[in-house]
Structure 1
């Protein structure tokens, strides 16, 4: 185990501990275009992310009967405490992972086992789970999450939550992972984050590098929803530079923070938030999987 994983894994004696560590580590890494210490947004601070991490951990401790309870509870507590959407994407990704992890008890899962059991977890979702997950989405009120002719993720929930996710696949990478049983996450995201930690040899450098590599590999779907596909593709193009060149990294960060016009014609920073959410979830798996 490299990149400091081993020492932090020892501190993660339960899923709630791993939620705290995964969320705080992701938020602390100096990732381009995101909040981190010393780089707050005007409406969102690093402290907000640390607070949201604790609220998320407490919502899953003790483990709820279904992860949808934990997601809704965490979204509600976060909205009440912070008045903003801090971690909806992270919670939707962590939910099935935490339920699968907790159900394994004292026997850590390897990556293949985890993927198979996440698929079973998603397949077991009920109409009541859909109600709770839709309620969580409405509490968080994510911009552009899913207006479409076939399905509106902010509207009345269907009985089949995965059906709604399948309709949102083209607009949201988190929905894509629900629809494909987290195949993208386990086959691409987790290995890339793990390899980046190995390549850098430390948490902060590794997660920062992973963020850039993911942005260079595929458009961030939060950017695409807020600004359009052309901007998302331009961010992907600009992310394809020498990631070890500090000046180029700073220039890329400035470009994202300077922003452009969103779909409503208002100037806004370009926040690659979905990519950050995927990293937080990958860190959770790396902290809890069998080694």
Structure 2
């Protein structure tokens, strides 16, 4: 697959995700107190160079010049997070980067989009303890909300690096331990199951609805069927369940989108479904890679595969 086609898709997908007014998220119409639409614009365009390097590295893997354990996932994620942070002062895309880089490399190694998810899982399985250490350094740079402290392999404890080395914790083992706390790790382990199923749902919906309506519908369905782990970490599992219940009411016609959005924002960003938004960004990247283009009809933007 052509290098810049991959990079373009994984740049445009997150920009679309940020622009479209989904319930509880930053959009071109709504900001949070400490996170704006502009943060996403600067962050996502800042990482394109690292994404390009990830594709080039993957081509060396495909040719057998490098072994999978030499992919350097952790280093690439850290470099992308650093580039994002240098361009703006918030954390709009750590999760997107962590999801995207293994899959970007999988696209360059695999035969097609379906094969790419298997190659991404292989790279995660073959990662090294050094990858995990670099991943920890990336977390420290991004400083995402809701990271627990005082736990084994505490991200913010310098002792954790010694513990990771002693116990041989690569990215796959880290994901196994952390899947319940963060959906990104579940995606790593499950070959991006939710990202790909959401991509499939988007592909169906853009045949029926304008682009924004299709994305919003798919996102509400995601909220109705999954507990967002960022909400769980920030506000607790009961709040996450309440979000899920209200999303189901939207689908059942008992609550309007506008009412749902106001509910999502009434406690600031505590109900911001950031983990599912990250997965939606990757799903949109897959849709772009599949050939998404837009047309303007009667003032509405229509997506076409």
TM-score of Structure 1 vs Structure 2, range by shorter chain: 0.7 to 0.9
Corresponding residue of 2:276: 275
In the TM superposition, 1:21-40 aligns within 5 A as 21-40=12-31
Question: Which has the higher mean CA deviation after the structures are superposed, 165-174 or 27-36?
Answer: 165-174
SS at match of 2:172: helix
Tell me by how many angstroms 1:289 deviates.
Answer: 4.8
| Structure 1: 5+ residue stretches without partners | 1-9, 260-266
Change in 2 beyond 3 A, CA 1:25/1:209? same
SS at match of 2:122: helix
Q: Verify the 8 A CA contact 1:52 1:87 in the aligned structure 2.
A: yes
What whole-Å deviation, never above 9, does each CA across 1:153-195 have from its counterpart, x for those lacking one? Answer: 4443424122122111111111222233433433x43333333
What whole-Å deviation, never above 9, does each CA across 1:222-259 have from its counterpart, x for those lacking one? Answer: 00110000000000000013449697100000011111
TM-score, normalised by the number of residues in structure 2: 0.79
Tell me by how many angstroms 1:41 deviates.
Answer: 1.2
Corresponding residue of 2:184: 174
1:160 maps to which of 170, 182, 189: 170
Corresponding residue of 1:49: 40
Q: Verify the 8 A CA contact 2:106 2:118 in the aligned structure 1.
A: no
Asked which structure has the greater CA Rg, the reply is 2
2:87 maps to which of 81, 87, 98: 81
CA distance in 1, matches of 2:211, 2:26: 17
Change in 2 beyond 3 A, CA 1:146/1:189? farther
Corresponding residue of 1:234: 242
TM-score, normalised by the number of residues in structure 1: 0.83
Tell me by how many angstroms 1:146 deviates.
Answer: 4.4
Question: Which has the higher mean CA deviation after the structures are superposed, 38-47 or 154-163?
Answer: 154-163
Change in 2 beyond 3 A, CA 1:229/1:114? same
Change in 2 beyond 3 A, CA 1:31/1:268? closer
| Structure 2: 5+ residue stretches without partners | 58-71, 292-304
